[in-house]
Structure 1
């Protein structure tokens, strides 16, 4: 894959800045060390915000709560089910809150490997059930959790951002972008394994939402990054929802890489995608479907 042509100069600068945030021995760090360097990397791109959210507990789960109008947006952060938390994604949530005027609740779900599946999903389900009718939004692992929640609880809609949904690791973008910048196929397999303590789980839709079923799922807007082994999952999921009679659309964001939300202030393509993401959240909250069909 010729990433020199697919990826523009702004995105390469973002990739280099991300790489520079990791120490040379990062691959040898334990889980606590990986979390420290991930948080430090996120801090490099973190943007201050004027909102003053409330940190509290909903249904026994820590959240960071940005006040706003109903329905609430429940945001589920990425990080491979291993890293990330309230501080890694709160600026993204603050900007969604400011753009839409909606309440945004960022969920600090339990992480692996200390807490195996379905601990993270159980936390997300508990928060959503407590809040009632919500719009789900999440990136990467958080996109997976959104889809798993939406299969069990009625929500107004969901916005999935470069989600990993359990696609076939031996075909499509998993192979054509196996060595993509920011996330490789090997990384995907590592994070999939650590969620289950290194064991290979039996096929489970709550782990791999692409297993279905797809009937009755909410309106869905999915965003894939072109230069990402997970890219095909977004379109495959949207296509399956449509085939089951639901409303779904996917966008493949050209030349973008996994984790591009952190580049929304430095990369034009990422900024434009984030505008589409915020617009999708606002539309689903209003019960509006601006995508035809």
Structure 2
């Protein structure tokens, strides 16, 4: 599969910046680099009514979240968004434009969760924070002008991993029925298996196999954690009964096979799956609006499906 011309141009600009590979950096350096790259895009989000930072109770202390209200009347459906970054980098600001666009497009109250990350807080800290935040908004939705009966989860990359895990936990919880799970090129298996880890290792953007091994090494406590379904949702004993899924797949991504395998596993388990492949796209393309046409198109597809799921 060849790169889309717009992606080729974006990668040429990235190469001109001469940024060091992620796996050669400290976590602090990698976080700063991601922030700089996102800022350099200069993306302008869709207008919303307002955004508000606050904290919600978590198992190890307050969890920072950001709430986005669209220009719509309530009670609003709710989308809980978990940012990507390998469970090591990324924050509320790196994914702010995505969340604003999803709030505007889906007409939903979006809550972005700034969960604890490795290596300072290793697995399963992120899972625990994400679950606490999801339970909080389910309980507090009416006070926020939202509908607790219409909640979906979404995330990209590591955030897609966490959204998938939240869907599993919600299935087994009382009183929390998700309408949808949106998994954008998710990490499905920290075993890092699949031909795409070799096929798209070099020349297809910053996410390489070495970068994925770096993320895994900083996130998991030990290699054995990869067998835990909370780290690798594809290894859950059963995927039956989960919320309907949309899986967004980048054609030229080391996580391509992860996305495909998880979509197939969900479908085999009887879960309705809307699988969308974007040929020529690389990992991270979903946030590259408005310069990448397929990023704009993918966000519109996601918000349209969320609207349908919310009814």
Q: Is 1:163 matched up with 2:186?
A: yes
Q: 1:180 to 1:24 in 2, by over 3 A?
A: closer
Q: CA RMSD in A?
A: 2.1
Paired position in structure 2 for 1:8: 4
- Tell whether the 8 Å contact from 2:23 to 2:214 is kept in structure 1 after alignment: no
Q: Which residue of 1 aligns with 2:200?
A: 177
More displaced 10-residue stretch of structure 1: 112-121 or 274-283: 274-283
- What per-residue deviation string (whole Å, max 9, x for no partner) do you get for residues 49-96 of structure 1? 444300001233111100244221001000111111011001111111
Counterpart position of 1:221: 246
Q: TM-score, normalised by structure 2?
A: 0.84
Whether contact under 8 Å (2:22, 2:211) holds in the other structure is no
2:56 to 49, 55, 58: 58
Mapped to 2, the partners of 1:79 and 1:246 lie a distance apart of 27
Following the alignment from structure 1 to structure 2, what is the Cα–Cα distance between the partners of residues 73 and 21? 35
Tell me if 1:273 matches 2:279.
Answer: no
SS of aligned partner of 1:105: strand
- CA distance change for structure 1 residues 195 and 279 in 2, over 3 Å: closer, same or farther? same
Contact 2:184 2:249 (C-alpha < 8 Å) held by counterparts: yes
Q: Out of 24, 36, 39, which is 1:43 matched to?
A: 39
Higher relative contact order (CA 8 A, sep 6+): 2
From the superposition, tell whether residues 9 and 112 of structure 1 become closer, same or farther in structure 2 (CA, over 3 Å).
same
Query: Unmatched 5+ residue regions in structure 2?
Result: 139-147, 171-176
1:94 paired to 2:107: no
Q: 1:20 to 1:81 in 2, by over 3 A?
A: farther
Q: Which residue of 2 aligns with 1:289?
A: none
Is the 1:14–1:263 Cα contact (8 Å) retained in structure 2?
Answer: no
Question: Structure 2 CA distance, aligned partners of 1:275 and 1:8?
Answer: 19
State the 1:278 CA deviation: 1.9
Cα gap change, 1:226 to 1:126, in 2 (>3 Å): same
Q: How many residues align?
A: 282
- Written as runs of structure 1 = structure 2, the 5 A alignment for 1:62-77 is 62-68=64-70, 69=74, 70-77=76-83
In structure 1, the gaps of 5 or more residues are: 287-293
Tell me, in whole angstroms, the C-alpha distance in 2 between the residues paired with 1:238 and 1:24.
Answer: 33
Q: Deviations over 1:118-138 (max 9, x none)?
A: 111111101111122521111
SS, match of residue 110 in structure 1: coil
Does the CA-based 8 Å contact 1:22-1:41 persist in structure 2?
A: no
Deviates more, 1:17-26 or 1:187-196: 17-26
**CA deviation vs aligned residue, 1:15-62 (integer Å, no higher than 9, x gap):** 233444564486543221211111111111243444430000123311
- TM (norm. structure 1) is 0.89
Q: What is the DSSP-based 3-state SS (H/G/I as helix, E as strand, rest coil) of the residue aligned with 2:96?
A: helix
